[in-house]
Structure 1
Amino acid sequence: MPRQIFQLRISLAGVRPPVWRRVLVPGGYTLDRMHRVVQHAMGWRDCHLHSFEIDGRQYGEPDPDGELSLHDELDVRLDAVVGKGSRFHYTYDFGDWWEHDLLVEDVFTADPEERYPACLDGERAGPPEDVGGPAGYQALLAALADPGHTEHHLMRDWVGDTFDPAAFDATRVGTLLRRFC
């Protein structure tokens, strides 16, 4: 059977202006690999816990203490739990609580000339780690946009001179996806 490719739109919930990515991933990827795709596509560094919610079931890394009831993401293939038109959720960093909405926009046969995974498009940089979730990110954006803001210099020093919230490079993301996912 030919390899199936899933076209996914990953949108970061609760953030304005929107931060999103459109990626192509093999349907045979486990949810663990899908986790890595989201991490690299959004610019996260995999410093925190995460989980997927698909049709009311939670998937992630099993908790050795049994406190979190998660199905093992290593045992579940993407094409076994979602199809074209499916929506599911990915939460990263249970402190900052970054929710991602994932939509399977299309499913098609792999092009033998293409390398997967791939990033087709997207908009805006992902928020920095540990910024305080959507509310903290909005506060950061407000401080960075206003040189007269009382927190402007502190926030600029914290994120560094190279952070540009409007920047996004699909080619760079595609390279990261192929290298690490």
Structure 2
Amino acid sequence: MEDEKMTNQDLIYQFKIELAEIEPTIWRVIQVPSKFSFWDLHVAIQDSMGWLDYHLHVFRMIESRKKKHIEIGIPDEELGFQEILPGWETPITKFFNEPGRSAIYNYDFGDGWSHYVLLEGILLKEKGVKYPVCIQGERACPPEDCGGVPGYERMIEILANLDHPERIAYNEWLKVCAKNYYPYDPSEFDPDKVHFCSPKKRLKIMLSS
């Protein structure tokens, strides 16, 4: 019993997150405690990718035996969609029970950002490491509210053209974003600079709003 208890406490889940429909791929590899809920994982994905958690999100899991989608996120009865399980009440171990399991993580239903989330492995916690942690990744996250994939691609094209008539306007917009994206370098990402916020504090703010 003691060995089983120690194992459960010391397990770490390693996920790879890829932003869909963008080339070159924007991706991250994060390691999180196995005790995480889907809300905790949501916050870790937001922080590692560089999103600001301004919008709704949902995880879409496939129950293989029933062959149906299960949605986990923030329930909203007014929207009339299929039942959404509360992320803060749903442990990741309920669906991510073995390496190779995957999900779609959708964020900002207006801009429509879709992420592939893959459980790469289940590891033992390393001494001296504070989890969650981002261990790898490439390329900067798109700025919030830039217009989804088409808006992002248009922005990158304009910023790369020094003579484009809209380049000054785009740079001015980037300067006044809530998170200062200026100067915006789409190729820049440093996993050591990722700061993970407290999921409990974030949940308290969300529930009180």
- Pick from 89, 94, 113 the counterpart of residue 109 of structure 2: 94
Using the alignment, how far apart are the partners of 2:198 and 2:23 within structure 1?
28
Match of 1:32 in 2: 39
Give me the CA root mean square deviation. Answer: 1.3
Aligned to 1:145: 160
| TM-score normalised over the length of structure 1 | 0.93
Q: Which moved more, 1:84-93 or 1:149-158?
A: 149-158
Q: Distance in 1 between matches of 2:161 and 2:45?
A: 31
Matched, 1:74 2:88: yes
For 1:20 and 1:12, how far apart are their aligned partners in 2?
A: 6
C-alpha separation between the residues in 2 aligned to 1:143 and 1:63?
Answer: 38
**Alpha-carbon contact 1:62-1:68 (below 8 Å) kept:** no
The residue aligned with 2:70 is 57
Matched letter for residue 187 of structure 2 = A
Supply the distance in 2 between the matched residues of 1:146 and 1:54 (Cα, whole angstroms).
41
Take 1:114 and 1:27, find their aligned partners in 2: how far apart are those partners?
15
Q: Which runs of 4+ in 1 moved over 4 A?
A: none
Deviation at 1:109, TM superposition (A): 1.6
Take 2:158 and 2:146, find their aligned partners in 1: how far apart are those partners? 13
> Which blocks of at least 5 consecutive residues in structure 2 are unaligned?
63-68, 176-181, 200-209
Kindly, what percent of the aligned residue pairs are identical? 33
Do structure 1's residue 172 and structure 2's residue 179 form an aligned pair? no
Number of equivalent positions: 178
TM-score (normalised: structure 2): 0.81
Q: SS at 2:42's partner residue?
A: helix
Query: Which residue of 110, 128, 136 corresponds with 2:125?
Result: 110
Provide Cα deviations, 1:16-62, integer angstroms capped at 9, x if missing partner: 22110010011210000111011111111111000000112111111
- Name the CA distance, whole Å, in 1 between partners of 2:44 and 2:118: 14
Equivalent residues of 2:17, 2:115 under 8 A apart: yes
Q: Which segments of 5 or more consecutive residues in structure 1 lack a partner in the other structure? A: none
Q: What is the 5 A alignment of 1:115-134? A: 115-134=130-149
Equivalent position SS for 1:88: strand
